[in-house]
Amino acid sequence: MSKILRLLLFEDCNRSCDYCCNQYWDLPSLPMITDFTPYTTILLTGGEPMLHPPLVKFTIRMINEQNNWAKIIMYTADVCDTDIIGKLWPDLDGLTVTLHNQVDAENFNKFQRILIQSGAPSKSLRLNVSPDVDLTVVNTTGWKVKHKKWFTDRVYIDGETFGRLA
């Protein structure tokens, strides 16, 4: 069993990205996860986790009750709602943000200020950037930046268990 769990919280998303990997998975057939103890890292994903912050908070609490040593990292592309990230950030060990377009890039600096005010430098910060995004308007200090190539034919995740929230 992998030590990394990619946990699908729900399928809801406010985007319709052509290259979304979820369209290549049979999401309802993913195994339901109820035991978080085997994992050292748990990646919270969706859909878009920031659409349902109470569920994210509940899930983090549930994970910590079983496994308070696992690192919890959330994946998001929502860089507009700084109120929500401000409430979720203290409970996370890291964040992976995807900038899909230039509007995301322009909103990212304000989003990042909220994280820094809440202690971001001590946490894992990863930034996935679509090829058409101009990063000259973005402060990437402290972020591990990856210029993303989207693979539409790859439906597996190396070294991870992919399951859904029970």
Give the model's pLDDT for residue 141. 84
Measured CA to CA, the distance from residue 140 to residue 52 in angstroms comes to 27
pTM: 0.89
The number of folded domains in the chain is: 1
Q: How confident is the model at residue 26 (pLDDT cuts 50, 70, 90)?
A: confident
Helices and strands in the chain, H and E counts: 3, 8
Domain around 133: 4-165
Measured CA to CA, the distance from residue 98 to residue 47 in angstroms comes to 13
Q: Is the pLDDT of residue 91 over 80?
A: yes
Q: How confident is the model at residue 83 (pLDDT cuts 50, 70, 90)?
A: confident
Helix, strand, coil % (nearest 5) of the chain?
35, 25, 45
Measured CA to CA, the distance from residue 112 to residue 45 in angstroms comes to 19
